[in-house]
A and B are shown apart, each in its own frame.
Chain A
Amino acid sequence: MEQWPLWEVFIRSKQGLDHKHVGSLHAADPEMAILNARDVYTRRQEGVSIWVVKSEHIHASNPDEAESLYDPSSDKAYRHPTFYKLPDEIKHM
Protein backbone atom coordinates (compact mmCIF):
# COMPACT_ATOMS: atom_id res chain seq x y z
CA MET A 1 0.00 0.00 0.00
CA GLU A 2 1.22 3.45 -0.87
CA GLN A 3 2.08 5.34 2.31
CA TRP A 4 -0.48 7.96 3.40
CA PRO A 5 0.81 11.46 4.13
CA LEU A 6 2.27 12.23 7.53
CA TRP A 7 0.43 14.59 9.92
CA GLU A 8 1.61 16.34 13.07
CA VAL A 9 -0.83 16.20 15.97
CA PHE A 10 -1.42 18.97 18.53
CA ILE A 11 -3.60 18.40 21.57
CA ARG A 12 -5.08 20.86 24.03
CA SER A 13 -5.20 19.05 27.32
CA LYS A 14 -7.53 21.49 29.11
CA GLN A 15 -9.61 24.52 28.24
CA GLY A 16 -7.40 27.60 28.44
CA LEU A 17 -4.11 25.81 27.77
CA ASP A 18 -2.20 25.87 24.50
CA HIS A 19 -2.25 23.07 21.98
CA LYS A 20 0.93 21.04 22.38
CA HIS A 21 2.67 18.87 19.86
CA VAL A 22 2.20 15.22 20.88
CA GLY A 23 3.42 13.25 17.88
CA SER A 24 2.60 12.31 14.34
CA LEU A 25 0.55 9.78 12.37
CA HIS A 26 -0.45 8.73 8.87
CA ALA A 27 -3.84 9.49 7.35
CA ALA A 28 -5.34 9.94 3.89
CA ASP A 29 -7.31 13.13 4.62
CA PRO A 30 -7.88 15.68 7.42
CA GLU A 31 -11.04 13.98 8.76
CA MET A 32 -9.21 10.68 9.04
CA ALA A 33 -6.24 12.40 10.65
CA ILE A 34 -8.44 13.87 13.39
CA LEU A 35 -10.17 10.58 14.18
CA ASN A 36 -6.86 8.72 14.08
CA ALA A 37 -5.41 11.31 16.46
CA ARG A 38 -8.39 10.81 18.75
CA ASP A 39 -7.81 7.06 18.79
CA VAL A 40 -4.02 7.13 19.05
CA TYR A 41 -3.38 10.14 21.32
CA THR A 42 -6.48 10.74 23.49
CA ARG A 43 -7.32 7.24 24.75
CA ARG A 44 -6.49 8.22 28.33
CA GLN A 45 -8.36 11.51 28.42
CA GLU A 46 -5.36 13.53 27.32
CA GLY A 47 -7.30 16.17 25.46
CA VAL A 48 -10.29 18.36 24.77
CA SER A 49 -9.25 19.64 21.35
CA ILE A 50 -7.18 18.33 18.46
CA TRP A 51 -5.30 20.10 15.69
CA VAL A 52 -3.69 18.23 12.80
CA VAL A 53 -1.29 19.75 10.29
CA LYS A 54 0.28 18.03 7.34
CA SER A 55 3.94 17.60 8.20
CA GLU A 56 4.95 18.97 4.82
CA HIS A 57 3.46 22.33 5.83
CA ILE A 58 5.89 22.68 8.72
CA HIS A 59 9.09 24.51 7.87
CA ALA A 60 11.88 23.92 10.32
CA SER A 61 15.08 25.79 11.06
CA ASN A 62 18.29 24.16 9.91
CA PRO A 63 20.24 22.46 12.73
CA ASP A 64 23.52 23.36 10.93
CA GLU A 65 22.73 27.03 11.45
CA ALA A 66 22.26 26.67 15.21
CA GLU A 67 25.44 28.61 15.95
CA SER A 68 24.48 31.70 14.00
CA LEU A 69 20.84 31.54 15.00
CA TYR A 70 21.05 30.99 18.76
CA ASP A 71 24.56 31.57 20.12
CA PRO A 72 24.56 35.37 19.72
CA SER A 73 21.86 35.71 22.38
CA SER A 74 23.69 33.64 24.99
CA ASP A 75 25.80 36.52 26.36
CA LYS A 76 23.03 39.11 26.35
CA ALA A 77 21.56 38.52 29.79
CA TYR A 78 20.11 42.05 29.78
CA ARG A 79 17.45 40.79 27.39
CA HIS A 80 15.92 38.85 30.27
CA PRO A 81 13.72 40.86 32.60
CA THR A 82 15.80 39.69 35.59
CA PHE A 83 16.88 43.13 36.83
CA TYR A 84 13.47 44.11 38.11
CA LYS A 85 12.31 43.61 41.65
CA LEU A 86 9.04 41.67 41.51
CA PRO A 87 6.25 42.55 43.94
CA ASP A 88 5.37 39.59 46.21
CA GLU A 89 1.80 39.41 44.91
CA ILE A 90 3.01 38.36 41.48
CA LYS A 91 3.52 34.65 41.33
CA HIS A 92 4.56 32.21 38.63
CA MET A 93 7.01 34.53 36.86
Chain B
Amino acid sequence: MFANDYNDSVNLLLFLADTNLIMSQRLAEWCGKGPTLELDIALTNIALDYLGQGRLFYQQAASEISGVTSEDSLAYFRDADQYLNLQLSELPNGHWGQTVLKVYLLAEWQQIVYSRLLALSDEQFLKKAASKAIKETKYHLQWSSQWMLRLSNGTDESFSKMQQAINHIWPYVHELKQVPSYAENVLSQLQLEEQFSKNVSATLDQTKLVLPAHFVFNAKGMYGIHTEQLSYILAEMQVIQRNHPNLTW
Protein backbone atom coordinates (compact mmCIF):
# COMPACT_ATOMS: atom_id res chain seq x y z
CA MET B 1 0.00 0.00 0.00
CA PHE B 2 1.10 3.53 -0.77
CA ALA B 3 2.74 5.44 2.06
CA ASN B 4 5.04 8.42 2.38
CA ASP B 5 5.68 10.99 5.09
CA TYR B 6 3.14 13.46 3.80
CA ASN B 7 -0.51 13.92 4.69
CA ASP B 8 -3.33 13.64 2.15
CA SER B 9 -3.47 17.35 1.48
CA VAL B 10 0.23 17.52 0.55
CA ASN B 11 0.03 14.39 -1.57
CA LEU B 12 -2.89 15.78 -3.55
CA LEU B 13 -0.94 18.99 -4.15
CA LEU B 14 2.08 16.98 -5.29
CA PHE B 15 -0.12 14.83 -7.56
CA LEU B 16 -1.39 17.98 -9.31
CA ALA B 17 1.99 19.72 -9.30
CA ASP B 18 4.02 16.74 -10.53
CA THR B 19 1.61 15.99 -13.36
CA ASN B 20 1.87 19.59 -14.54
CA LEU B 21 5.64 19.82 -14.17
CA ILE B 22 6.41 16.58 -16.01
CA MET B 23 3.96 17.44 -18.77
CA SER B 24 5.61 20.85 -19.06
CA GLN B 25 9.11 19.39 -19.20
CA ARG B 26 8.02 16.93 -21.87
CA LEU B 27 6.32 19.55 -24.04
CA ALA B 28 9.34 21.82 -23.72
CA GLU B 29 11.22 19.25 -25.82
CA TRP B 30 9.28 20.63 -28.79
CA CYS B 31 10.71 24.09 -28.27
CA GLY B 32 12.52 25.11 -31.44
CA LYS B 33 11.35 21.96 -33.24
CA GLY B 34 7.63 22.62 -33.78
CA PRO B 35 6.24 21.85 -37.24
CA THR B 36 5.74 25.58 -37.87
CA LEU B 37 6.78 28.71 -36.03
CA GLU B 38 3.18 29.33 -34.95
CA LEU B 39 2.78 25.84 -33.49
CA ASP B 40 6.15 26.00 -31.82
CA ILE B 41 4.95 29.10 -29.98
CA ALA B 42 1.57 27.53 -29.22
CA LEU B 43 3.09 24.46 -27.63
CA THR B 44 5.67 26.44 -25.69
CA ASN B 45 2.85 28.64 -24.34
CA ILE B 46 1.01 25.54 -23.18
CA ALA B 47 4.17 24.12 -21.61
CA LEU B 48 4.60 27.39 -19.68
CA ASP B 49 0.96 27.24 -18.54
CA TYR B 50 1.63 23.79 -17.06
CA LEU B 51 4.76 25.08 -15.37
CA GLY B 52 2.85 28.00 -13.85
CA GLN B 53 0.13 25.69 -12.55
CA GLY B 54 2.73 23.29 -11.19
CA ARG B 55 4.46 26.11 -9.31
CA LEU B 56 1.19 27.17 -7.66
CA PHE B 57 0.68 23.69 -6.24
CA TYR B 58 4.34 23.22 -5.26
CA GLN B 59 4.42 26.51 -3.38
CA GLN B 60 1.34 25.52 -1.42
CA ALA B 61 2.72 22.01 -0.78
CA ALA B 62 6.00 23.49 0.47
CA SER B 63 4.10 25.75 2.86
CA GLU B 64 2.22 22.75 4.27
CA ILE B 65 5.33 20.60 4.78
CA SER B 66 7.23 21.18 8.00
CA GLY B 67 10.94 21.91 7.80
CA VAL B 68 12.89 23.60 5.04
CA THR B 69 11.03 22.86 1.83
CA SER B 70 10.55 24.99 -1.24
CA GLU B 71 9.04 24.59 -4.67
CA ASP B 72 12.58 24.05 -5.97
CA SER B 73 13.47 21.37 -3.47
CA LEU B 74 10.27 19.52 -4.32
CA ALA B 75 10.98 19.72 -8.04
CA TYR B 76 14.72 19.07 -8.02
CA PHE B 77 15.44 16.82 -5.06
CA ARG B 78 12.86 14.08 -5.21
CA ASP B 79 13.46 10.81 -7.07
CA ALA B 80 11.15 9.11 -9.53
CA ASP B 81 9.43 6.94 -6.93
CA GLN B 82 8.51 10.07 -4.95
CA TYR B 83 6.86 11.70 -7.96
CA LEU B 84 3.09 11.27 -8.05
CA ASN B 85 2.39 12.39 -11.65
CA LEU B 86 0.05 10.50 -13.95
CA GLN B 87 2.07 8.16 -16.16
CA LEU B 88 0.48 9.78 -19.20
CA SER B 89 2.48 12.94 -18.58
CA GLU B 90 5.87 11.19 -18.70
CA LEU B 91 5.25 9.26 -21.93
CA PRO B 92 7.44 10.40 -24.83
CA ASN B 93 5.96 13.05 -27.12
CA GLY B 94 6.19 10.80 -30.16
CA HIS B 95 4.99 12.46 -33.34
CA TRP B 96 2.86 15.59 -33.50
CA GLY B 97 -0.41 13.63 -33.37
CA GLN B 98 0.65 11.73 -30.28
CA THR B 99 1.63 14.96 -28.55
CA VAL B 100 -1.74 16.48 -29.48
CA LEU B 101 -3.48 13.41 -28.05
CA LYS B 102 -1.56 13.69 -24.78
CA VAL B 103 -2.42 17.38 -24.42
CA TYR B 104 -6.04 16.65 -25.27
CA LEU B 105 -6.45 13.84 -22.71
CA LEU B 106 -4.77 15.83 -19.97
CA ALA B 107 -6.95 18.86 -20.76
CA GLU B 108 -10.13 16.78 -20.46
CA TRP B 109 -8.85 15.40 -17.15
CA GLN B 110 -7.75 18.77 -15.76
CA GLN B 111 -11.02 20.39 -16.73
CA ILE B 112 -12.99 17.84 -14.70
CA VAL B 113 -10.61 17.91 -11.73
CA TYR B 114 -10.40 21.71 -11.61
CA SER B 115 -14.18 22.06 -12.01
CA ARG B 116 -14.58 19.81 -9.02
CA LEU B 117 -12.13 21.91 -6.98
CA LEU B 118 -14.16 25.01 -7.83
CA ALA B 119 -16.99 23.55 -5.73
CA LEU B 120 -14.83 23.77 -2.59
CA SER B 121 -15.35 26.60 -0.12
CA ASP B 122 -13.99 30.03 -0.99
CA GLU B 123 -11.13 30.17 1.48
CA GLN B 124 -9.56 26.91 0.30
CA PHE B 125 -6.36 27.22 -1.66
CA LEU B 126 -7.39 24.52 -4.13
CA LYS B 127 -10.42 26.53 -5.18
CA LYS B 128 -8.38 29.66 -5.80
CA ALA B 129 -5.74 27.74 -7.74
CA ALA B 130 -8.35 25.94 -9.81
CA SER B 131 -10.18 29.12 -10.76
CA LYS B 132 -6.93 30.49 -12.17
CA ALA B 133 -5.84 27.27 -13.86
CA ILE B 134 -9.13 26.31 -15.47
CA LYS B 135 -9.05 29.25 -17.87
CA GLU B 136 -5.79 27.95 -19.29
CA THR B 137 -7.13 24.41 -19.35
CA LYS B 138 -10.16 25.48 -21.38
CA TYR B 139 -7.84 26.92 -23.98
CA HIS B 140 -5.71 23.76 -24.01
CA LEU B 141 -8.89 21.79 -24.58
CA GLN B 142 -10.05 24.02 -27.42
CA TRP B 143 -6.62 23.96 -29.08
CA SER B 144 -6.05 20.21 -28.71
CA SER B 145 -9.56 19.08 -29.67
CA GLN B 146 -9.36 21.15 -32.85
CA TRP B 147 -6.12 19.38 -33.69
CA MET B 148 -7.57 15.97 -32.75
CA LEU B 149 -10.40 16.47 -35.23
CA ARG B 150 -8.24 18.07 -37.90
CA LEU B 151 -5.80 15.15 -37.91
CA SER B 152 -8.33 12.38 -37.39
CA ASN B 153 -10.58 13.65 -40.17
CA GLY B 154 -7.73 14.81 -42.39
CA THR B 155 -5.74 12.67 -44.82
CA ASP B 156 -5.27 8.89 -44.74
CA GLU B 157 -1.82 9.45 -43.33
CA SER B 158 -2.91 11.82 -40.57
CA PHE B 159 -5.73 9.43 -39.64
CA SER B 160 -3.44 6.41 -39.42
CA LYS B 161 -0.97 8.36 -37.29
CA MET B 162 -3.76 9.34 -34.90
CA GLN B 163 -4.95 5.75 -34.74
CA GLN B 164 -1.40 4.65 -33.99
CA ALA B 165 -1.20 7.28 -31.23
CA ILE B 166 -4.49 6.06 -29.72
CA ASN B 167 -3.28 2.45 -29.75
CA HIS B 168 -0.07 3.45 -28.01
CA ILE B 169 -1.49 5.88 -25.43
CA TRP B 170 -4.81 4.28 -24.57
CA PRO B 171 -3.52 1.76 -21.98
CA TYR B 172 -2.43 4.73 -19.85
CA VAL B 173 -5.85 6.41 -19.95
CA HIS B 174 -7.30 4.12 -17.28
CA GLU B 175 -5.26 5.98 -14.66
CA LEU B 176 -6.98 9.26 -15.59
CA LYS B 177 -10.25 7.78 -14.35
CA GLN B 178 -8.86 6.80 -10.95
CA VAL B 179 -8.98 8.91 -7.81
CA PRO B 180 -5.93 8.30 -5.59
CA SER B 181 -6.64 7.33 -1.99
CA TYR B 182 -5.25 10.67 -0.74
CA ALA B 183 -7.77 12.61 -2.85
CA GLU B 184 -10.91 10.69 -1.96
CA ASN B 185 -12.30 13.43 0.26
CA VAL B 186 -12.03 15.96 -2.59
CA LEU B 187 -12.66 14.06 -5.82
CA SER B 188 -15.38 11.57 -6.63
CA GLN B 189 -14.30 8.40 -8.40
CA LEU B 190 -17.70 7.86 -9.97
CA GLN B 191 -18.03 11.41 -11.20
CA LEU B 192 -14.50 11.50 -12.64
CA GLU B 193 -14.94 8.20 -14.43
CA GLU B 194 -18.34 9.05 -15.91
CA GLN B 195 -17.53 12.60 -16.89
CA PHE B 196 -14.17 11.75 -18.43
CA SER B 197 -15.57 8.89 -20.52
CA LYS B 198 -18.50 11.01 -21.64
CA ASN B 199 -16.41 14.03 -22.65
CA VAL B 200 -13.77 12.00 -24.48
CA SER B 201 -16.44 10.01 -26.34
CA ALA B 202 -18.07 13.24 -27.46
CA THR B 203 -14.85 14.13 -29.29
CA LEU B 204 -13.93 10.65 -30.51
CA ASP B 205 -17.47 10.13 -31.86
CA GLN B 206 -16.71 12.85 -34.40
CA THR B 207 -13.89 10.70 -35.80
CA LYS B 208 -13.45 7.19 -37.14
CA LEU B 209 -10.79 6.36 -34.58
CA VAL B 210 -11.21 2.92 -33.00
CA LEU B 211 -10.32 2.33 -29.37
CA PRO B 212 -8.14 -0.73 -28.73
CA ALA B 213 -9.91 -3.84 -27.45
CA HIS B 214 -10.80 -3.45 -23.81
CA PHE B 215 -8.17 -4.25 -21.28
CA VAL B 216 -7.14 -2.55 -18.09
CA PHE B 217 -3.55 -1.54 -17.58
CA ASN B 218 -3.33 -0.39 -14.02
CA ALA B 219 -0.84 2.48 -14.27
CA LYS B 220 -0.02 3.82 -10.82
CA GLY B 221 1.99 6.96 -11.39
CA MET B 222 -0.19 8.60 -8.72
CA TYR B 223 1.37 6.21 -6.18
CA GLY B 224 4.95 6.75 -7.32
CA ILE B 225 5.17 3.79 -9.71
CA HIS B 226 6.47 4.96 -13.07
CA THR B 227 7.69 3.90 -16.47
CA GLU B 228 11.44 4.10 -16.98
CA GLN B 229 10.82 7.31 -18.93
CA LEU B 230 10.41 9.41 -15.80
CA SER B 231 13.97 8.71 -14.63
CA TYR B 232 15.38 10.10 -17.87
CA ILE B 233 13.24 13.23 -17.62
CA LEU B 234 14.29 13.83 -14.03
CA ALA B 235 17.95 13.19 -14.82
CA GLU B 236 17.89 15.94 -17.42
CA MET B 237 15.72 18.31 -15.40
CA GLN B 238 17.54 17.91 -12.09
CA VAL B 239 21.19 17.52 -13.09
CA ILE B 240 22.22 21.15 -12.62
CA GLN B 241 20.63 21.57 -9.18
CA ARG B 242 21.95 18.22 -7.99
CA ASN B 243 25.50 18.98 -9.12
CA HIS B 244 25.42 22.58 -7.93
CA PRO B 245 22.83 22.77 -5.14
CA ASN B 246 21.28 26.20 -4.59
CA LEU B 247 22.71 27.52 -7.81
CA THR B 248 20.77 30.59 -8.94
CA TRP B 249 20.65 32.63 -12.13
Report which A residues bind B (CB closer than 8 A). Answer: 1, 4, 25-29, 31-32, 35-36, 38-40, 43
Report which B residues bind A (CB closer than 8 A). Answer: 35-39, 41-42, 45, 139, 142-143, 146, 150
* Complexed CA–CA distance, A26 and B41 (Å): 13
Contact, CB under 8 Å: A36 / B45: no
Given A35-B143, A35-B146, A43 and B42 touching (CB < 8 A)?
no
Residue of A nearest to B45 (CB): A39
Q: Which 5 A-B pairs have the closest CB atoms?
A: A36-B38, A39-B42, A39-B41, A25-B38, A39-B45
Contact, CB under 8 Å: A26 / B150: no
* Complexed CA–CA distance, A26 and B236 (Å): 33
Q: Which residues of B are found within 8 Å of A4, using beta-carbon distances? A: 36
Contact, CB under 8 Å: A27 / B38: yes
Contact, CB under 8 Å: B146 / A32: yes
Contact, CB under 8 Å: A31 / B41: no
Contact, CB under 8 Å: B36 / A26: yes
Residue of A nearest to B36 (CB): A26
Residue of B nearest to A27 (CB): B38
Choice from B42, B139, B142, B150 contacting A36 with Cβ under 8 Å = B42
* Complexed CA–CA distance, A26 and B38 (Å): 7
Choice from A1, A25, A43 contacting B45 with Cβ under 8 Å = A43
